[in-house]
A and B are shown apart, each in its own frame.
Chain A
């Protein structure tokens, strides 16, 4: 590979070549036409201007010097020698002066043209650069969009997981009560089974007592199975399945889970579900909301200073859909806590994880409804929530 010659060298070489070329051209013209050499000096001027044009001021000056030398040496008598003929001196100076001015002007012209060209080139470069930058930004934006989509996907998955974990948490907080609900019928079943065996093996046997005990076994077994099914349906990891649902039935299905706890605390329950438009909801999620709200109410009603009541009512919402009201006679929520009570990880209970009500809110909002504290005082709390009557756009599949 040949190393390219320096630019300045090429420019000077070009100047020399042009001057020498012009010189030989002049010789040729003289030779064939016999024209006096003076008019042909115009060729030398042309060579100087061309050199300055091609190479700039430096090569222009070189061209001047070179052509001066050639003119002096070859054209000014005596030929082929430098001499000091005084008569041709003004003419000679004139030539040099014109040549220098010509070279100077030509070089300037050349520089201006180059500057223009450069400005043009710069502009084009800038446009290219901007285009590239825009392309980069565009690529970044689209990758961000993809990233965002992924994050949203992850968020949905997380929220499904959150819903499941929250179900487990709800159950965890409630497990003592639930285990009691199971052990009671189990204890009863065992006792009745032993009793019926004894009634039959006693002498004389007592068939009527044995049958009565066996009937109680059936009754308690059925009761225990109902409770187990309730728990399983709450713990199951399911996709959100929204169907037309009867709110009243859902409330009644939830009651056996808290029945024992209600009795032990001497809390009476009043349920008044009025005729409401059907709603689209996920039955299990909805039960979870009901259970969470009921659990909160129960915990708020631990004081024994008065008779406690939990009241669950529903009515058509003014905005369409249904309005469900949970009213307890518990200790209430402090005024400065009302705004934060639905926030995740906020709890007024020492043992609470602060998930219950935030889960309720996220479930209700996913269903297109709203949940709020209607009022709260030391005499009790009223929580309202709404669900829209018509089908809301179904959630993404996989969001539980």
Chain B
């Protein structure tokens, strides 16, 4: 399931768009371009995300600005890496962008190496975030298959309690706890207690995110 990240270029200036598109394709990067942020928001990369992305984003644009898009993606809980590329950036703008987890803040005209490096980093981050999202999605699906009792047992197990104590607190036999425990390990597709704990942490973190949003 290793899909190459695609670079999404959003710039209102046709000449810049064409130049960046050509350069990055020549460098072997898959590219797609949009002339506005709102156009991108209605694209397949948002509605049915099917591969990792990195966004190369202009700031001053008619309609939604680059910063507006960044805020909108955060609000929608779309965690996508952004490389800003602007004709007139200043330090406060760069700081604001980086505080919201932008990958890089470049100013036009940009040096080729600098651009490629930032895009490479962005795509790498995009790939990682994409994988994390995919793993989380699978684990969430796996978790959905657990019964109420199995979820109770899983909670106790990742808390580090021994079977005897779990049996006592749930009011069931130790044998039954062992059966539930085996089912949890199988359904959550993990081979060790450590893996189960990691999956549980991932799930609870995303649950917290959902609570926050």
What residues of A have a CB within 8 angstroms of the CB of B15 in the complex?
184-185, 188, 216, 219-220, 223
Q: How far is the CA of A213 from the CA of B26 in the complex (A)?
A: 11
Nearest CB on B from A216, distance (A): 6
| Contact A187 B19, beta carbon cutoff 8 Å | yes
Decide: B16 and A184 in contact? CB cutoff 8 A: yes
A-side interface mostly: helix
Assuming the contacts A190-B109, A195-B19, A216-B15, asked whether A184 and B87 have C-beta atoms less than 8 A apart, the reply is yes
- The answer to whether B12 and A199 touch across the interface, beta carbons within 8 angstroms, is no
Which of A189, A194, A212, A264 is packed against the most chain B CB atoms within 10 Å?
Answer: A194
Given contacts A184-B108, A189-B19, contact A199 B26 (CB under 8 A): yes
Per-residue 0/1 for B20-32: is the Cβ within 8 Å of any A Cβ (1 yes, 0 no)? 1011011100000
A192 and B109 contacting across the interface, CB-CB below 8 Å: no
Question: Besides the contacts A219-B15, A264-B60, what 7 more A-B pairs have beta carbons closer than 8 Å?
Answer: A188-B19, A191-B19, A196-B26, A199-B22, A263-B62, A264-B61, A266-B63
Does chain A have a CB within 8 A of B112? yes
Contact B108 A183 (CB under 8 A): yes
A209 touches B110 (CB 8 A): no
Q: Does A186 contact B (CB under 8 A)?
A: yes
**Judging by beta carbons under 8 Å apart, are B22 and A187 in contact?**
no
**What distance in Å separates the Cβ of B22 from its nearest Cβ neighbour in chain A?**
4
Closest chain-A Cβ to B5's Cβ sits at a distance in Å of 19
| Residues in A neighbouring B26, C-beta threshold 8 A | 194-196, 198-199, 202, 206, 209
Contact residues in A for B23 (Cβ distance below 8 Å): 191-192, 194-195, 198, 213
In the complex, the answer to whether B87 meets A183 with C-beta atoms within 8 Å is: yes
CA–CA, A212 and B18, complex, Å: 10
Within 8 Å by CB of A180, from B27, B63, B87, lies: B87
Residue of B nearest to A216 (CB): B18
Q: Collect the chain B residues with CB atoms within 8 Å of residue A191's CB.
A: 16, 19-20, 22-23, 112, 115
B13 near A: Cβ within 8 Å?
yes
